[in-house]
Amino acid sequence: MLREIYEIGKTIVEEGKIKPEEQFVDKAKLKKTKIVLCITFKKDSEDTLEYIGIKPEEYDESKSISYLYKGLPGSGVDLMPSTLISKDITTAVKKRIFAWFEGNVDKNNLFRGIYDALINEKEHIIKDISLAYGSLDKESKYNTLLTIKIFDGGAYKYLWDYKEFRDSFIDEAKKQYYYKKSMGESKGEGTCYLCGKHKEVYGFVLPAFGFSFSTADKPGFVPGFNKEWMWKEIPICEDCAVTLEVGKKYLDENLSYGFYGNKYYVIPQVVLPEKSKEVLSEIMDTIERYKGKGYQQGLVADEDDMVDIAMEKGNIMKLIFVFYSQKGGGKYIDILKYIENVLPSHMREIYEAEKNVKSIYGENFVKILFGEKAEGDFVAYRKSKMKNEKSGMNNWYIAFGRIFFSGNKEFLNYVGNVLSGKPIDRRYLIARFLDAFRKEFKNGNDFAFKLRAVEAMMIYDFLREMELIRGEFMAEESEEKMKISTEKIEKFFEERKSTFASDEAKAAFLVGALVNYVLQIQRKDRGLGYGDEPFRAKLYGLNIDEKKLRKIFTEAVEKLSEYKRGSKMESVAADYLSRAGNGWKMNRDDISYYFSLGLVLGASLFWEKEENDEGGEKNGSE
């Protein structure tokens, strides 16, 4: 990964796309900043400064370099007297503004003049900042930047406008590569890890811009290593350190995306080294053209344009996905999941599989299951009902997965398996589905139960199409087929033959469909609400094995006979129970899973209007 980030930085530097000072500014950390509070001074002809107030201004990204903001890992003084503030104004001002000038007061007359003016009006300044910050609305307070501004020579100037600040900024930024106050220096003569040249190399390069997998002051980072000698573990020279930081900066500003409380990078890896600069340059130009546009096709975020670009380039490049969380107020990143060697052709396969599976669950399916007023395919319908859903229309397998893999580690493993093409254990998958089914079943939430069932089926169909299910695959159907009298059932199973690949699966599903009909009759005839049906108590909390399934089937048939509501579905389910035989290989979770699907989907999809004995009509759909 470091090599790929370095190549990105190298391309930017060689093409002159960034100024020397600009490469160290943390523009990405100011993305959500709306307001800048300026501690403002007036400079007279004798180089003395007078405090004239706190002047708020709207943050303008084009002026980001003016503030020379660069946060440092940890909670101490920032690199320059520009800092992000929150509720504790007094502490922030004292530790990050006053303390900076106190530590640099003797460097030049400008720093001395500002320091003297700060000290003379210390209490006044802190009070004014508190009042200015307190007057902001809630949204504007988030990520507020506090900095210095000087009225000098008839115009307002910022840190960038003074050579003293620019020189100090560059010197201190580079110093972070080899010096930590708590640990001292880490540098020496060696061979640079990136360029291969023998020269002075540094040991704190990666921690300097927040890679926590290289945090020098974490015990056990490298077994038995001496912190002062860290430059021997990951030796990087000054030129390569700067180039690497430029690449990391580009990732933060252009190739970092967010989803479900996580963030991730998409890093291009050019397969042919001699084509690296050419391909990366083209990618950067394309990204620049894409800025500000919307995207409907992406990994997990609609604006994930890197994936689209990669697919256009073909397999001359690979993709690296780095999922991470931010720590220390965004100054550190903690890598949660790392996936490399993802080919653009594999991403295309993912999109095609999503598209194919989604087409099966179209508007007709939705209307049958959720009523005639429902519109769109299942993905669109679900999105319309879940107002806080942030997923796009073409990344539904991610959104659905978040429901069943609730733990963040489990969720990222699921996403990672799909991206890397690693199979998911079938028993584990079914168990996750059942956890969600049982929760909604216990809560008596009919609508949520239906959503979970369809989501699970679509994920399963998607993973089967991608050939990403590992475990006890059920035997394929025999070529000898017993003709099913119900056309809708035949069609349903045929469209999902990889999911319903055995008579056992079909039998469990059809028994669930039959029970759905029993429950509907009880609700209708007795005026009961969903979850209050007496027959529900006979379903073992959806923890069903073969013996219990056959008992449920027998009791359902008896109940329909009692109600005089017999149906051909009974014989269809009985046929499949007979074909499946005894001593099923399917385990308890699988049986419970297919039964649950039938309980939700079966009746609504299969029951046809029929005349009953009293001349009325019955219909299993709700």
Q: pLDDT tens digit string along 39-60?
A: 999 998 777 899 999 999 999 9
Confidence band of 306 (pLDDT split at 50, 70, 90): low
- The burial of 184, by beta-carbon neighbours within 10 Å (0-12 exposed, 13-18 middle, 19 or more buried), is given as exposed
Please tell me the distance from the alpha carbon of residue 208 to that of residue 175, in angstroms, as a whole number.
Answer: 9
Confidence band of 231 (pLDDT split at 50, 70, 90): low
Max avg pLDDT among 15-24, 329-338, 368-377: 368-377
- The burial of 177, by beta-carbon neighbours within 10 Å (0-12 exposed, 13-18 middle, 19 or more buried), is given as buried
3-state secondary structure of 581: coil
Distance of CA 553 to the CA centre of its chain: 43
Please tell me the distance from the alpha carbon of residue 525 to that of residue 530, in angstroms, as a whole number.
Answer: 13
Give the per-residue pLDDT at 299.
Answer: 43
Give the per-residue pLDDT at 307.
Answer: 60
Give the per-residue pLDDT at 234.
Answer: 80
Confidence band of 200 (pLDDT split at 50, 70, 90): very high
Name the percent of the chain lying above pLDDT 70: 83
DSSP string, 101-163: HHHHTTS-HHHHHHHHHHHHTHHHHHHHHHHHHHTS-HHHHTTEEEEEEEEETTEEE-GGG-H
Confidence band of 314 (pLDDT split at 50, 70, 90): low
Main-chain dihedrals φ then ψ at residue 584, nearest 5 degrees: -60, 145
Residue 195, pLDDT > 70, answer yes
Q: Average pLDDT for residues 125-149, to the nearest whole number?
A: 90
User: Which residues on adjacent β-strands are paired with residue 424?
Assistant: 469
Please tell me the distance from the alpha carbon of residue 107 to that of residue 105, in angstroms, as a whole number.
Answer: 6
Q: Give the contacts of 445 (CB within 8 A, at least 6 positions apart).
A: 530
Confidence band of 214 (pLDDT split at 50, 70, 90): very low
Tell me which residue of 502, 493, 587, 499 sits closest to 548, measured CA to CA.
587
Q: Average pLDDT for residues 219-235, to the nearest whole number?
A: 51
Residue 602, pLDDT > 70, answer no
Give the per-residue pLDDT at 418.
Answer: 93
More confident residue, 525 or 485: 525
Give the per-residue pLDDT at 609.
Answer: 44
Name the percent of the chain lying above pLDDT 90: 31
User: Mean pLDDT lowest for which of 101-110, 146-155, 219-228?
Assistant: 219-228
pLDDT tens-place string over residues 538-566: 998 999 999 999 999 999 888 888 888 76
Distance of CA 436 to the CA centre of its chain: 21
Residue 476, pLDDT > 70, answer no
Residue 619, pLDDT > 50, answer no
Q: Average pLDDT for residues 581-596, to the nearest whole number?
A: 90
> Which H helix or E strand runs over 66?
none
Give the per-residue pLDDT at 615.
Answer: 35
Tell me which residue of 428, 452, 429 sits closest to 440, measured CA to CA.
452
- The burial of 592, by beta-carbon neighbours within 10 Å (0-12 exposed, 13-18 middle, 19 or more buried), is given as buried
More confident residue, 250 or 218: 250
